[in-house]
């Protein structure tokens, strides 16, 4: 049943949405955007959540999430310090995000809801699961019947040749078992005005945008333009990054699957290296600006002698260099395994002028192959210092194999919760936000915060020290 709220009720709720500051609660909030921020309250109707009538649910006390229900960003405190005592002067404390989940009142009438789903950027395990669960969730939880898939990324919104795909649960049934994205994806093609025009022309009032850091920056622009035009459209970002380079959230979906796949490559490199005389197994893994895949695969494999990541400079020759380290390893063990993230050592590889300029369609710098370069450099070193002695470098580049696979069980469940959280948030009128796990709980985070936040490996913390204890690799600090 449609309920028209009084202006006061809606104002109160909107104010709650944006102000978490009541006694005993965190006093810094994240200014979570809501449709009521820019649309006239008189024009916004609210409705009872249809989950009340859903045969699979029995909403009881605590089922619906209230606007004052929050997730704290920081959960570890030193109670002996001022910050442990929740000092107001410490900017790290008190940052809170709205907890994800169904709200009692929703701002979209299911029969008049028209949702668009788009995937942008590179592939990641679980993309199809997120799409599937958005479709199934919208359909089964809220009774939405108009769900469209935008084809081939942002450009698909205004493509004259590829119409949006009409989606329903029957169509997407087995998609969680497929790698890639059935909707297809692309880089580049971000034309803000054409995209928002297309959103209006197609009468979409919910837009689900799945993609990485670049996609999220585009989503912020779309959200800003939607606010400028004052149109009733909810925008949500679902962060996708196989590199795990998006900040604030615990980790990105598909990351664990990618690490598992990476380990298979490391195992193969280990077998090859062990079975050769002076054998080096070299594995290049994804990670443009962050080495999370390389780090996690190294820690879980334990077969790795050295892990090189973009966050850490390294050098080849001289005391404490890679060559000296590998020389010792070959003397001790007869073999060594080297893992390198694709963004590591880019500044050491000679580039032509054209290569310095080369960008992909989204404007990202095209990287040179650090694996091939390392292989060549290692061979040069061996021929120079150990002429006539046997030596082998087996280079494995599983780049696309680790991201073009279906999600594993853990990632599939994660994708489901992520998609359903996004739907609940949009239905509740939140907009310009991202859904994602923070400290194990699903939360709504302003899109702008996520678009700006990065997630680099901290080479000063315990985890990186753990990598070094597992590998015994040098710290590459020149003395
Ligand atoms: N700053 C930006 N403003 C608007 N749109 C952007 C911006 N950066 C990238 N985009 C658009 O977002 C889409 C995806 O960007 P990109 O190819 O960089 O991938 P991504 O989302 O970062 O994913 P990943 O790097 O994980 O593959 C592209 O269509 C690109 O044009
Ligand atoms: O070759 P493509 O599809 O442009 O993507 C490669 C890039 O995409 C990612 O998988 C995600 O950004 C990176 O690890 C990699 O550099
Ligand atoms: Mg990116």
Q: Name the pLDDT band for 52 (thresholds 50, 70, 90).
A: very high
Output the DSSP codes for 234-283. Answer: EEEEEE--TT--BSSSS--TTHHHHHHHHHHHHHHHHHHHHTSTTEEEEE
Phi, psi of 308 (to 5 degrees): -110, 125
Q: What is the mean pLDDT of residues 201-207?
A: 98
Q: What residues contact 182, with CB distance under 8 A and at least 6 apart?
A: 128, 131, 149, 172, 175
**Residue 25 in this model has a pLDDT that exceeds 90:** no
d(CA 464, CA 420) in angstroms, rounded, equals 34
Residue 1 has a pLDDT of 32
Residue 296: CB within 6 Å of ligand 2? no
Residue 248: CB within 6 Å of ligand 2? no
For the chain, percent of residues with pLDDT exceeding 70: 91
Distance, CA 338 to ligand 3 centroid (Å)? 25
Strand residues in 314-459 grouped as ranges (E): 335-341, 392-396, 433-438, 441-446
Helix (H) or strand (E) holding 377: helix 370-385
Distance, CA 458 to ligand 3 centroid (Å)? 19
User: Residue 113 to residues 62, 75, 308, 331: CA-CA distances in angstroms?
Assistant: 26, 37, 48, 67
Please name which of 416, 435, 428, 367 lies closest in space to residue 132, comparing C-alpha atoms.
Answer: 416
d(CA 367, CA 87) in angstroms, rounded, equals 45
For the chain, percent of residues with pLDDT exceeding 90: 85
Residue 84 has a pLDDT of 52
Please compute Rg for the chain using Cα positions.
25
Q: Name the pLDDT band for 86 (thresholds 50, 70, 90).
A: low
Residue 89 has a pLDDT of 57
Say if CB 210 and CB 415 are below 8 A apart. no
d(CA 362, CA 232) in angstroms, rounded, equals 29
Residue 379 has a pLDDT of 98
Distance, CA 391 to ligand 3 centroid (Å)? 37
**Residue 19 in this model has a pLDDT that exceeds 70:** no
Say if CB 131 and CB 176 are below 8 A apart. no
Selected catalytic residue, list 243, 303, 305, 449:
243
Residue 452: CB within 6 Å of ligand 1? no
Residue 133: CB within 6 Å of ligand 1? no
Q: Is 243 a catalytic residue?
A: yes
Atom number, ligand 2, closest to the C-alpha of residue 124: 10
Nearest ligand, measured from the Cα of 216: 1
What does the H/E/C string look like for 379-421?
HHHHHHHCCCCCCEEEEECCHHHHCCCCCCHHHHHHHHHHHHH
Residue 82 has a pLDDT of 55
Ligand 2 mutation target, pool 121, 211, 243, most atoms within 8 A of CB: 243
Q: Name the pLDDT band for 90 (thresholds 50, 70, 90).
A: low
Residue 88 has a pLDDT of 54
Q: What is the mean pLDDT of residues 179-183?
A: 98
Residue 23 has a pLDDT of 29
Phi, psi of 234 (to 5 degrees): -90, 135
Distance, CA 218 to ligand 1 centroid (Å)? 7
Residue 14 has a pLDDT of 43
Nearest residue by C-alpha to atom 7 in ligand 2: 122
DSSP 43: G
Q: Enter the ipTM.
A: 0.99
Residue 218: CB within 6 Å of ligand 1? yes
Distance, CA 118 to ligand 1 centroid (Å)? 13
Q: Name the pLDDT band for 426 (thresholds 50, 70, 90).
A: very high
Please name which of 11, 101, 28, 24 lies closest in space to residue 65, comparing C-alpha atoms.
Answer: 101
User: Residue 94 to residues 25, 32, 75, 432, 472: CA-CA distances in angstroms?
Assistant: 8, 15, 10, 22, 39
User: What angle (nearest 5°) sits at the alpha carbon of residue 156, between those of residues 121 and 143?
Assistant: 95
Residue 239: CB within 6 Å of ligand 1? no
Q: Name the pLDDT band for 352 (thresholds 50, 70, 90).
A: very high
Give the pLDDT confidence of 440-468 residue by residue, as tens digits.
Answer: 999 999 999 999 999 999 999 999 999 99
Q: What residues contact 239, with CB distance under 8 A and at least 6 apart?
A: 211, 212, 216, 246, 249, 252, 434, 436, 450
Atom number, ligand 2, closest to the C-alpha of residue 360: 4
Nearest residue by C-alpha to atom 12 in ligand 2: 122
Residue 5 has a pLDDT of 39
Residue 76 has a pLDDT of 83
Residue 459: CB within 6 Å of ligand 1? no
Give the pLDDT confidence of 395-405 residue by residue, as tens digits.
Answer: 999 999 999 99
Other CB atoms closer than 10 Å to residue 213's CB: what's the count?
24
Residue 3 has a pLDDT of 34
Please name which of 478, 456, 451, 477 lies closest in space to residue 216, comparing C-alpha atoms.
Answer: 451
Give the pLDDT confidence of 377-386 residue by residue, as tens digits.
Answer: 999 999 999 9
Q: What is the mean pLDDT of residues 128-149?
A: 98
DSSP 161: S
Give the pLDDT confidence of 247-285 residue by residue, as tens digits.
Answer: 999 999 999 999 999 999 999 999 999 999 999 999 999
Residue 273: CB within 6 Å of ligand 2? no
């Amino acid at each position: 049943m449609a309920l028209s709220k009084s202006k006061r009720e809606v104002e109160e709720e909107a104010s709650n949405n944006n102000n978490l500051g009541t006694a005993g609660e965190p006093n810094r909030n994240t200014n979570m955007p809501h449709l009521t921020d820019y649309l006239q309250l008189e024009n916004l109707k609210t409705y009872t959540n249809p989950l009340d009538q859903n045969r699979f649910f029995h909403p009881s006390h605590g089922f619906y999430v209230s606007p004052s229900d929050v997730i704290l960003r920081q959960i570890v405190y030193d109670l002996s310090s001022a910050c442990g005592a929740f000092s107001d002067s410490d900017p790290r404390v008190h940052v809170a995000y709205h907890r994800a989940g169904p709200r009692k009142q929703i701002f979209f009438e299911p029969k008049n809801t028209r949702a668009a789903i788009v995937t942008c950027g590179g592939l990641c395990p679980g993309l199809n699961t997120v799409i599937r669960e958005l479709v199934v969730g919208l359909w089964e939880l809220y009774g939405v019947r108009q769900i469209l898939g935008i084809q081939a990324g942002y450009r698909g919104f205004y493509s004259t040749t590829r119409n949006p795909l009409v989606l329903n649960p029957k169509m997407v049934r087995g998609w969680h078992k497929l790698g890639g994205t059935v909707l297809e994806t692309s880089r580049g093609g971000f034309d803000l005005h054409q995209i928002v025009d297309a959103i209006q022309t197609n009468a979409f009032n919910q837009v689900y945008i799945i993609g990485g850091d670049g996609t999220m920056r585009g989503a912020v622009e779309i959200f800003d333009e939607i606010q400028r035009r004052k149109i009733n459209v909810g925008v949500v970002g679902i962060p996708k990054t196989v590199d795990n380079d998006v900040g604030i959230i615990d980790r990105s979906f598909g990351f664990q699957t990618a690490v598992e796949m990476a380990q298979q490559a490391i195992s193969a490199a280990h077998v090859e290296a062990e079975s050769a005389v002076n054998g080096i197994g070299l594995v290049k893994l994804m990670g443009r600006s962050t080495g999370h895949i390389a780090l996690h695969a190294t820690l879980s494999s334990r077969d790795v002698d050295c892990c090189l990541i973009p966050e850490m400079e390294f050098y080849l020759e001289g005391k404490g260099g890679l060559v000296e380290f590998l020389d010792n390893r070959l003397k001790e063990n007869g073999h060594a395994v080297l893992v390198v993230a694709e963004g590591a050592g880019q500044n050491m590889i000679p580039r032509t002028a054209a290569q310095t300029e080369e960008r992909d369609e989204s404007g990202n710098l095209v990287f040179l192959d650090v694996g091939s370069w390392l292989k060549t450099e290692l061979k040069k070193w061996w021929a120079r210092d150990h002429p006539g002695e046997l030596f082998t470098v087996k280079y494995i580049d599983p780049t696309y194999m680790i991201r073009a696979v279906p999600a594993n069980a853990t990632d599939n469940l994660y994708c489901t919760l992520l998609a359903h959280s996004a739907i609940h948030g949009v239905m509740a009128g939140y907009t310009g936000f991202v859904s994602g796990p923070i400290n194990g709980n699903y939360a709504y985070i302003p899109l702008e915060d996520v678009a700006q936040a990065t997630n680099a490996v901290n080479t000063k913390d315990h985890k990186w020290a753990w990598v070094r204890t597992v590998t015994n690799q040098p710290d590459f600090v020149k003395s």
